[in-house]
A and B are shown apart, each in its own frame.
Chain A
Amino acid sequence: MNWNSWLPLLVILSSLLPGLIIFGLAEERIRLRTVLNLAGALVKLALVGWMLWGVYHGHDYEMRLALLPGIELVLRAGPLSLLFVTLSAVLWLVTTVYAIGYLEGSPNRSRFFGFFSLCVTATVGVALSGNLITFLLFYELLTLATYPLIVHRGTETARRAGRTYLAYTVFGGALLLLGTVWLYTLSGTLEFTPQGGFLDGLGDEHRPALMIIFALLIVGFGVKAALVPFHGWLPQAMVAPAPVSALLHAVAVVKAGAFGIVRVVYDVFGVEFAVGLGVLGPLAWLAAITIIYGSLRALFQDDLKRRLAFSTISQVSYIALGVAIAGPIATIGGVVHLVHQGLMKITLFFCAGNLAETLGIHKISEMNGVGRRMPWTMVAFTIGAFGMIGAPPVAGFVTKWYLGLGALEADQAWVILVLAGSSLLNAAYFLPILHRAWFRAPSDAWPEERDFGRKETAWALLLPPVLTAALALAAGLLVMLPFSPLEWAKLIAAQEFYLP
């Protein structure tokens, strides 16, 4: 085993070890906990940067550990996995800074940061998994690591949300396990195989079974990706603290589900095989319904985080839609949205957290004139919201551009109507928020205002949304640069579709 093969494991350990140490720390060891958190995040970022450079230049990073006879734990860094790992590493660092500021003075911080690190470990594990069984292990670890974060506040609502989350995800996990075992009995392997999947050799006699397996896997992943009608847990889970919501919606849970769908279509079934099986059409429709349904539900929410939660349900399905359209350009649109949605949505959740922490604002109807009181936060929110609408030059525009072109390429023009409808609905539920914030006269008193002197809020709360908003803008503006998410998505699409 050489140094390169250890790298994927080191990336996982960079958050796992600090997490385990933090569990054992006393509450008052604030400085050590902060150092461990930030050091872990920075080390992870450096390792991921190294791997990015290597993969871009054609190097392999793979590690295999025997689990059971014939079943291995495989960690592998390819273009697709690194796209997700990079997103997780960057946003983990930012979210850690935000969480440090957000939870200042609150109880049980060691427990919180311990599970927080575990959650990121599981997410990175999901991204680096080289076969379906490894994926499944980390995927379930993610469920278990996230539950304590959702119920962190310990209120009855939080506990109820946690129970709902567990019920949904355990059900999804069970279906996933069933599908995986069935698949293994048919194919004898679970190794992710880019460029065509590993089911190509299976004959027509397995067609019905494979269709059912596909459905099981998609529903299994669809629960975490919040595909309708398996989305019920997500709006309830927004009772969690803002950093958890941000992580849940932008990086960890829903993204793991969406990433699972991408893996199933590209590296398990293979695009051509899935098209032949006729399973991508229903997936595209399911994604389209989710996009419109999520947006429609978001329209009628007064609770800001709840509106953002329904927006996530809608937006994450763009990834599934891009994959289901089954063409190189749509693939670019779907895959790049993994990153774009993450940047934009985390910005929005950070801002929602800032409003709640600084002014006690939870509802949209309380946001009148808040732009005057918290201009930087609301500028970041505005960029995130415009990105979600798909206005240029924010990252969301790039996604819609490639999804639209991909739909035309695949001769599925109806997708453009879905995108247009979604943009219209996004505008209908984001623009009134911006109008309230910037153009309405502010209230005489905010619900629970905290004093931060001349600053609008604490630095640790303000810098993360400003940074992620800038990244969302940069991902759109600097879209042609070599290491931009779009260029990386093009690399993935070229690999999947044998493009030069």
Chain B
Amino acid sequence: MNVEISVILLCFVVAWPLLLAIPALHSRLPRPRHLAIIPAALLAVLPGEASLELPWLFFGAGCAIDGESRWILAMSVAIWFVAAAIIKPSKHDFADQRTTTYFLLTLAGNLGAVLASDLVGFFCFTTLMGYGLYGLLIQSGDEAARRAGRCYLIVLIVADLLLFEALLLAAFVTEDLRFAVVREAMAEASSAQFYLWMAFIGFALKAGVWPAHLWLTAVFSSVSRSTALLLGGVPVAMGLFGAVRWLPIGEHAFGVAAMIIQGIGIAAVLYAMFRFFTQVSVKSLPAWTAVALTGLFIVALGGGLAHPEMWHQYESLAYPVIALVAIFLATLTFIIGRMQGAHQAPAVASQRVETVRRVAEWIEGCQRCAKDRLSGLQSLWHTSWLKATRQYQRIMDGQKPIGLRDEWRVRIILFVLLGLTIAWLAK
């Protein structure tokens, strides 16, 4: 019985928000944004696996709910529900209808991608999701949002082109484009490396993985709270989810490629951590957290590409981890948004988040403690460490802007670390 209900719900998860996206319809219904999520919410809580095949639709579309996609679906439902609740209705009917339309189109694309059982379906829905999200990103209409939206749009188009090329390669190798079949077929194909890089770069762009993170930081600091809340769950999580589903992980050991991907991941984590602690705009903090977390995830993916047997052991963790990353980012965005709302302060250096202030105070306390207790042991190393700490503390306090020299110093250190890591991994 559960399976039959799940199949019926599968039909409605995407179709219902798509239908509601028509302004003439959603303008006549109460809370259309919440209504649109209901079939997905029911599907997420209903136990059991189900699939739906529609051979007459598109290139033989299919969707399914299984243990893996349920994590992502549940996460998506939670985030979309909160976003639907906190979205502010506009004063103008047209703007409000437009926002609802883009909201519902993005939702439909997101849910469709989560449930897609093949590459074409996933590609189709993420494209819809991407263009819908663009509409949400620039809804405020100010220059910063427009610029960030433009940046996102360019990344989206390039990513879609790369993924389309990967899709062609996959379709050329195997007619069956279901995820598992493609992963297996592409691992042994002569174009495996090319496919791997096309898909990896495509999803890295979509998820905002370093060094393709620029759109993410720009977007986080310019969009409204409800839209920022979606960023972790929509582009970032779906980028990671897509990478796990498309990349031939666990099928074949990709030595050098895996090493490079891990190196990128490590560099992303280090760079994001540095930028996080030197950030003066509090709205950007979730963005740098996202860059760090995606970096960590990329390291794990690289591990899976290098050691297939290890991936088989931990594969089941990938989906809950993606869901947790998205939930964590959404929570962080929500908290920061609330704090900003409470302070009613503009996003400038003076409005630092309370936790950052506490971290700064803690560092200061440690310094005082070190000075008192270790006054006799003030080595050169200790003095320079304190000096550097004070400098970063001043940057965090907003008293001193981050200098180009400091940034370059960190970049060089990161690249040296990256080189050392690669050398160590190669060994």
Contacts and interface: CB of A to CB of B under 8 A. Distances in A.
- State whether these chains interact: yes
Interface of A: 372, 375, 386, 390-393, 400-401, 404-405, 408-409, 416, 420, 423-424, 427, 431, 438-439, 441, 476-481
A390 B153 CA distance: 15
Nearest to A431: B153
Interface string B139-182: 00100001000000100011011001100110110000000000
B169 A408 contact: yes
A421 to B, nearest CB: 9
Given A479-B58, A480-B56, 9 more contacts: A386-B131, A392-B123, A393-B124, A405-B168, A405-B172, A423-B164, A424-B161, A438-B98, A480-B58
B91 to A, nearest CB: 14
Given A391-B127, A427-B157, A438-B135, A478 B141 contact: no
B141 A480 contact: no
Contacts of B94: 372
B212 to A, nearest CB: 17
A244 B168 CA distance: 37
A431 B149 CA distance: 12
Interface string B118-139: 0010011001000100010010
A441 B60 CA distance: 41
B55 interface: yes
Given A416-B168, A424-B161, A439-B138, A478 B123 contact: no
Contacts of A479: 58-59
Contacts of B158: 424
List of 7 A-B pairs having minimum Cβ-Cβ separation, nearest first? A392-B124, A404-B168, A408-B172, A427-B157, A420-B161, A480-B56, A393-B58
Q: Is the interface of A mostly helix, strand, loop or mixed?
A: helix
Contact of A477 (B55, B57, B138): B57
B58 A392 contact: yes
B84 to A, nearest CB: 22
Contacts of B157: 423-424, 427, 431
Interface in B17-72: 23, 55-60
A19 to B, nearest CB: 39
Nearest to B146: A439
A478 B168 contact: no
Contacts of B141: 439, 441
B161 A392 contact: no
Interface residues of B, number: 29
A427 B131 CA distance: 12
A416 B165 contact: yes
A405 B171 contact: yes
Contact of A480 (B57, B98, B131, B160): B57
17 contacts: A386-B131, A392-B58, A401-B168, A404-B164, A405-B171, A408-B172, A416-B165, A420-B165, A423-B157, A431-B157, A438-B135, A439-B138, A439-B141, A476-B58, A477-B57, A477-B58, A480-B56
Contacts, number: 63
B106 to A, nearest CB: 15
Contacts of B23: 375
A408 B168 contact: yes
Contacts of A416: 165, 168
A485 B152 CA distance: 34
B161 A423 contact: yes
Nearest to A382: B131
B153 A392 contact: no
Contacts of A408: 168-169, 172
* Most B CB within 10 A of own CB, among A392, A416, A424: A392
A478 B138 contact: no
B318 to A, nearest CB: 26
Contact of B55 (A405, A427, A441, A480): A480
A427 B156 CA distance: 11
Interface string B95-123: 00010000000000000000000001001
Contacts of B138: 439
A439 B136 CA distance: 10
Contacts of B164: 390, 400, 404, 420, 423
* Most A CB within 10 A of own CB, among B58, B94, B131, B138: B58
Contacts of A438: 98, 135
Contacts of B58: 392-393, 476-477, 479-480
Contacts of B59: 401, 479-480
A409 B173 CA distance: 10
Nearest to B139: A439
A383 to B, nearest CB: 12
A312 B98 CA distance: 31
Contacts of A393: 58, 124
A97 B161 CA distance: 38
Contacts of A431: 153, 157
A480 B153 contact: no
A475 B55 CA distance: 15
B351 to A, nearest CB: 29
B7 to A, nearest CB: 20
Contacts of A405: 168, 171-172
B363 to A, nearest CB: 44
Contacts of A391: 127, 131, 160
Contacts of A481: 56
Nearest to B156: A427
Contacts of A420: 161, 164-165
A120 B135 CA distance: 41
* Most A CB within 10 A of own CB, among B55, B60, B123, B165: B165
A393 B168 CA distance: 15
Contacts of A478: 56-57
Nearest to A428: B157
A416 B162 CA distance: 11
A372 B95 CA distance: 9
Contacts of B165: 404, 416, 420
A141 to B, nearest CB: 40
A372 B161 CA distance: 30
Contacts of A477: 57-58
A485 to B, nearest CB: 14
A216 to B, nearest CB: 35
